[in-house]
Structure 1
Amino acid sequence: MLALAITKWPGMNQAFLFSFILTVALTLVVIPYAKRRPANKKASWGEAMFGSTYAFGVMFLAYGVVPHQWLTHVQNELGWRADKPLNGPWDILKAKSQGGHFPFEINYLQVGDALVVGIYLFFIALNVYLWSWWQKRGKKVSTELATSTYGRPLVKKV
């Protein structure tokens, strides 16, 4: 029997993966709820308090916990530090100051920081999409009238 410990593979940080999956799931749970709720129904005081607390919690996870878990994973478990230069394959990213041809130095810590910016952008895009979708729910899409070759609508006068 082959004994593989998947949780010991590099890059498999349980805290980061769990917080990321949980945050995305809690964010997307809003969609089935919004489909059931009538668009013109006003929220009660309790619903508004629960919704605001829920939104705060999800945003705390998205913009606080998930990036923190990623940065902790990068620095502690992957060992991406500022003193570890990123030279790339065949030293194509080796800096001129170190005898290479690349104009500036890149280290692994900067790569981890750039990836956390990607995490932030992912959650911002998801939030903006859901906000836009929530505001547009319940609105009927207008059907376009047939147009002539000149671009004017073909409407019969009654």
Structure 2
Amino acid sequence: MMGVLMARRGRKRRLEIEAEYWRLLAAGVGTVEACNQLGVGRKTGYRWRAENGGLQPENLLDASRSDRYLSLLERRRIATLRERGLTIREIASQLGRAPSTVSRELRRNSLPHDNGIYNADMAHGRCRWRTRRPRRAELAQDTE
């Protein structure tokens, strides 16, 4: 049984709550107060902090995002399947996405200096950088 991965015991991890916990901490709320607001035990909050060295995990941010966007795991699968020589349509069918989504991903996140190789981690970083661009809201720009 050494090669078989065992499922984690206990409750299923609630990523939305954990992501909100990290947002509260970033806003300056203490661990105990954040746990009280979210309805989780303080030991859970301390465990989340200990597991991540006190820093918000990167992949948790992806878990709280909409399924509309590609995740890092999906991008890594695209890279692997692309290396194996599968076509865009074959990759899309394996991911359960539209071929246009895969095509757009490869076009947007493969730069000329990448030598035609799609790197999932670089693509994910580029995507996250683009979503963080500073932009004022339309209503905030309008003086009336």
Say whether the fold is shared (TM-score over 0.5).
no
Instruction: Answer 1 or 2: higher relative contact order, Cα 8 Å, separation at least 6.
Output: 1
Q: How does the TM-score come out when normalised to structure 1?
A: 0.27
Q: Which has the larger radius of gyration?
A: 1
